Each structure stands twice: as C-alpha cells, then as structure tokens.
Structure 1
Amino acid sequence: MKSLRHAVAIAVPAVIAAGAAVAFAVFATARRVVTPTARLNDVEILAVDTGAQTIELTRTPDTELPGRYGLFTTGTYGYVKLGAVLSADARTVRRKLLTQVEPGANVDRAAAFSGWYYVTPSELHLPWESVLIGSPAGPCPAWLFPAESSTWVIQVHGRGTTRSECLRAVPVLHALGLPNLVVSYRNDGEAPRSRGGVYALGASEWHDVDAAIGYALRHGAERVVLMGWSMGGALVLQTAVSSVHRDVIAAVILDSPVVDWRTVLRFQAREAGLREPLPALAMGALENSVTARLSGAEGAIPFDQLDMVARASELDAPVLILHSEDDGFVPADASHALAAVRPDLVTMPSFTVARHTKIWNYDETGWTTAIADWLRAQGIVDDGV
C-alpha cells in the first residue's frame, strides 16, 4: 500500500504537468492563428553586384520562380524589385535587379521575398487619391483609382499584409474601365485596431468590406466586383453572403483564397510539424467563447460560418478563382471543392507552379487574360474593352 501511495504521489503531478503542457501548446497554437504577424525574413542575400545589377539569394521554392517579384530588406534600401532568374544551383539563385542599387549601398543579409512588386500607388502612373471609409471599426484608409464605369472593384488584401498587395491587379482592371477601391480593414496595421487587436479570420472584418461597398455606392457606383487575396478572399466571401448590399455585388474574384479555414489550418499545422490532435484542439479552443479568449481571440471563431464550401448554396454572384496547384501556404483543395459544388457559378482556370498569391508574378499574361476574359463573359465590361 505504501508503494502504491508513493506511485500515485509521483504520477498525479506528472499527469497534471502533462495536461498543463498540452493546454499550453493548444492555446499557444490557437493564439498564433488569430494574432497579426509582422513580415518574416525567409531568405538571405548572399551577394549584390552593383555593376551587373544582380543579386544572389538562398534558393527556396519562391526565390527560384520565374517572373517579377519584390524583396524587403534593411539598410540603404527597404525594398528592391527583382527580375529574371539568371542562374541557379542547388543552394543559390542569381536574379536581375530591377531597382538600381548604387555602389556602396548597405544591403543587409536578412530579407523577405514578396509577390507584392508594387509598394505605392504612384508606381502605377495612374490617377489615384487617398480616401477614408467609415466602418464599424473606425475610419479605414483606402486608395481610389477612378475610371469611367459605374461598376467598381473593391480589393481586399490578405493576412499579415497591407493594401500594397492588391496593386498588381489595378492596371488590368483600370484598362477595362473599372474604378478600383483598394481597402484596409481592422487590425491590418493601417486601419483602426479593435479592442483586442486580433483577427477574427473574416467573421468580423467583413463589416469593413461592407462599409467599402456603401462608400462606393455613395460615390457613384451602381454595382461592385469584390476581389480578395488570400485571407481577403475569406472576407470577400463572407461579405458576398452577408452584406445588406449583396444585390449590387455583380461578381467575385478570388486570388489564392481561404475558402475554408479548417482545411488551411490543418495544412499549415502539418507543414509546421504539428500533429493531430493539436490542430483540432486549437481550433476547438477558438470555437468556444471561453477558451477563445484564453487563446487571445476577442470572441469565438465560427469556423462553420467561415466554411464557404458548406455554405456554397448561399452564393448568388459568379465567382472567378485564381489558385495555383502549388500554392504551398493555402492549399487549393477548398477552392476546387467550391468549384465542384457550384459549377453554375464558379470558374477556376488551371494554374501551377506559381505559389501563394504569385500567379501575377509568375504568369502575368495568363493571369490578366483570365480576369479580363471572365469579366467580359459576365457582362461586367464590354467585349470591345
């Protein structure tokens, strides 16, 4: 009996400690899901040749992609534009610099590879103005690129980025005569911060998109096309089924979208080496109003409500999905599932290789043609434009 009591005395604290460790891991994982993150350095600059205007980077699935990209760094230049891959080996990639780097410039090794390409609206050499959209979160900054059509495009950026992500789409849409309203939303670093300063994964942020529709209607729009990038796709889809203005939503364009968060979070957990049941427990914690707050969320995350494959019957505007099979961050599975259950509404041309939100960078002609042809087919723009 004495030995049994001794065993119990040892085992109980161990079980409690193990339970505490699991709880800590669950809440830490859940907190990462809703916490806005800063840009992460994911590549090293190995050499810069200012004579040949080339740059050598560590080789990754992103840095080896053909096309035009951007690179965030520190030192003399905060951002440089990258062109074609000139050479590569197993560890390195040498690319053409499209930003002139002067001799003697200080360019630090740590950098972040980006599909943004354009950072400021002035780089597009189009008329534009800064506006403020009054949303439930407060005044949200936006860029307005005016054009002649009464159908406006409202663009929504993704998680951990800002409005600059959307600038790549402005030229093709402007050439089609469509005004562009490029918006921000709560907790993105530009729009107002909510009480907790964390994401609701689209469950509350869509109200800021809805406010942008109201702004467009008050300033001459008669119809709108919603365009969402990555998590911006989740915001746009929630707006499409929940907005009081849904009757004026003429079409939806999604680039690398989050269509179902559970699919995305399970994929990202596997990529990070997290095994079940940890991802399922973390999502369960976020779904419960009490444990959600312990996880850093402002309230319960309604994953069922955010599953647009399950809610596909509620969609009534045509949808164009641009999603690379090799996304690597937001898998295309849910996009394909949505296309399968709503073939009457969803068009999903095939793209490969391009990675996450980088189809424009990798295949600008294919990407812009897909958008222009689809908008003409929907009657959003005239055939002659």
Structure 2
Amino acid sequence: MSSEAEGRFHIMDVSSLTSGPRRAILRTADGVPIEALHEPFPAAVTDPSGSATDPSGSATAPASGSAAAPASADTAVVVAHGFTGSLDRPAVRRAAEVLGRHAAAVVTFSFRGHGGSGGLSTVGDREVLDLAAAVRWARELGHARVVTVGFSMGGSVVLRQAALDRGTDAAPDAVAAVSAPARWYYRGTAPMRRLHWVVTRPVGRLVGRYGLRVRIDRRAWDPVPLSPVEAAARIAPTPLLVVHGDRDAYFPLDHPRTLAAAGGAELWLEPGMGHAENAAGEELLDRLGAWLVPR
C-alpha cells in the first residue's frame, strides 16, 4: 500500500503567522489528524526586510537564496519517534534541539494514537501516512531538501515510507533508521515479548492507553505490511544510514546488519548504546545531524 495512493493530505495550521516555531494539525491521506511542530533554523529566520536574524534578533546575512546563507538552510529534518513517544517527550525535544544545530529546520510530530494526534496506533503500518504528511508539510513550507530520521518503530516507518513513496512529493532525500527492527513479529527478547503482550491482548492495550499513553488499534494487520528489510532494499539511490547500539535490549545486532546489507546502507554500530531516542546521546545526535545535513 503506497501512501500516495490514498489521496492528498490537508493541513490545518493552528499557529500564528510568525517566522518562528509553528504548530499545526496535519490531515493524513486516510483522514487522521496529526499534531506537528516546525522549528526553523534560527539563522534562517528573517525579519520583514528580508534579512536573516540570529537567535538574539540581530540582522545577519541576507536570507535564503543568497550566497552568504548556509548551503543547508533549505533542509528540513523530520523526526519520527518510537512507540509510546510523542513530539513533546523530552528525548524527542532533545533530539530536535541537537539536530537543529546543523543549519536545518526540524519537524517533529506525534504518530497516530500518540500524544495529541488522533486515531489509533497500528505499530508501524499506517504510520507511513503520518510521516508522509509531515514530509509534505515541510515541502509546503518551502524546504527544497527534506530528510527523515526514525527511532525504533519510527525507524521502521522511515524505511517503509521511503520505499513506498519513491517518486512522489513525499519522498525523502536521505533516510536514517536508528534502533529499527529488520523484520516483523520478532519475539526473541524479553522487551519484545512484553511489547507483543501490550499490542495483542485487551488488558495489554488498556495498559498501553493508561500506563504508556498510547492508544492501540485492536485489529491485526491485514495485509501484513512490507517489512523493514524489504523496504531497505527498495530505497536506493536515496542515501540510507542504519544506526544501532550494541546494548540494545529489544533487537540484537543481526537486525541492523540485515538492514544495512539489504539496502547497501552505511552502518554505525554504537558501543554501549541502548535503544532508540532515549539512549541516543548528544554526540551521536550531532553526528546524525552532520550526516543528514552535510555542509
């Protein structure tokens, strides 16, 4: 199922008309409202005269389009959080702050069933429509280059969305998958067995709603979506980076190695790192930013 095939999304902007951070409700192709936040790179914020301003408000070089502006100032990094995350969670805000240092705007959003978004979580299936809406919104806001980075469930989503939306206006220009699974239904670790209990059992879904703050669809996948490893094989020539910690308690190292081999991707195996955005330190996030937004 391609997200493009389900029709165009609609944007309902609920922000004030300023050049600063902008919150919006995005309408996905299947009609789910998704909360999103766009934060421009500070040096690319312009005053009414068209001059760029730094975070202190003082005028600097001319705005985008000038040779003096950062070459990467037209880039937006779209961040896809992990299961039970949201755009307002501290780990997501920290990732956005570090990634935004690389002369790029940052778009964060909450997947369906998470945070202030509507709908129910399908744990990586229809979430590709949420990501596609965020990528298109970044392009609507004028970013010529849009890249995606996803963590855990979000890592599987960025892989699948890049494969399914190839050749459309939702296609990303580069993709980074952090702590992503290679295949579905993996139960080889205790955390994944607990996750399957939460997703598949009525009592587990109640725990998800009231304990983990995620609303989970009770329906099983039908059909089973394209797997992350199958998606990775379809992304080229879009640049792909796979990042994984060697202390990840959810997915062992055969997952990132399989993903990287399938997609001809660059592979970073991080010593001492655990799982997803909560385990991603500032140094790693800074390297991710440099890879996503090269100077």
TM-score bracket relative to the smaller structure: 0.5 to 0.7
Which residue of 309, 312, 319 maps to 2:232?
A: 312
Distance 1:321 1:246, change over 3 A: farther
Distance 1:306 1:333, change over 3 A: farther
- State the distance in 1 between where 2:274 and 2:86 align: 19
Name the TM-score, length of structure 1 as normaliser. Answer: 0.52
Please say if residues 229 and 262 of structure 2, whose CA atoms lie closer than 8 Å, have aligned partners that are also in contact. yes
- State the distance in 2 between where 1:338 and 1:186 align: 25
- State the distance in 2 between where 1:140 and 1:166 align: 16
Which residue of 79, 85, 93 maps to 1:167?
A: 93
Q: Which runs of 5+ in 1 are unaligned?
A: 1-126, 283-294
Please say if residues 324 and 353 of structure 1, whose CA atoms lie closer than 8 Å, have aligned partners that are also in contact. yes
Give the counterpart letter for 2:126 in structure 1. Answer: S
Moved over 4 A (4+): 269-273
Q: Does residue 348 in structure 1 map to residue 267 in structure 2?
A: yes
Distance 1:336 1:133, change over 3 A: same
Partner residue of 1:139? 33
Partner residue of 1:43? none
Distance 1:307 1:268, change over 3 A: same
Q: Does residue 256 in structure 1 map to residue 179 in structure 2?
A: yes
Please say if residues 260 and 306 of structure 1, whose CA atoms lie closer than 8 Å, have aligned partners that are also in contact. no
Quote the offset at 1:184 in angstroms: 1.3
Tell which has more relative contact order, 1 or 2 (C-alpha 8 A, sep 6+). Answer: 2
Looking at secondary structure, tell me which structure has more helix per residue: 1
Q: What do you get for the CA RMSD once the two structures are aligned?
A: 2.9
Quote the offset at 1:340 in angstroms: 1.9
Q: Does residue 207 in structure 1 map to residue 101 in structure 2?
A: no
Q: Which runs of 5+ in 2 are unaligned?
A: 1-19, 45-72, 201-215
Corresponding residue SS for 1:261: coil
- State the distance in 2 between where 1:208 and 1:271 align: 24
- State the distance in 2 between where 1:334 and 1:134 align: 33
Instruction: Compare CA radii of gyration and give the structure with the larger one.
Output: 1
Q: Does residue 232 in structure 1 map to residue 154 in structure 2?
A: yes
Name the TM-score, length of structure 2 as normaliser. Answer: 0.66
Partner residue of 1:124? none
Distance 1:353 1:310, change over 3 A: same
- State the distance in 2 between where 1:371 and 1:192 align: 30
Distance 1:140 1:342, change over 3 A: closer
Give the counterpart letter for 2:83 in structure 1. Answer: R
Distance 1:337 1:360, change over 3 A: same
Partner residue of 1:339? 260
After TM superposition, the structure 1 = structure 2 runs for residues 91-130 of structure 1, keeping only pairs within 5 Å, are 128-130=21-23
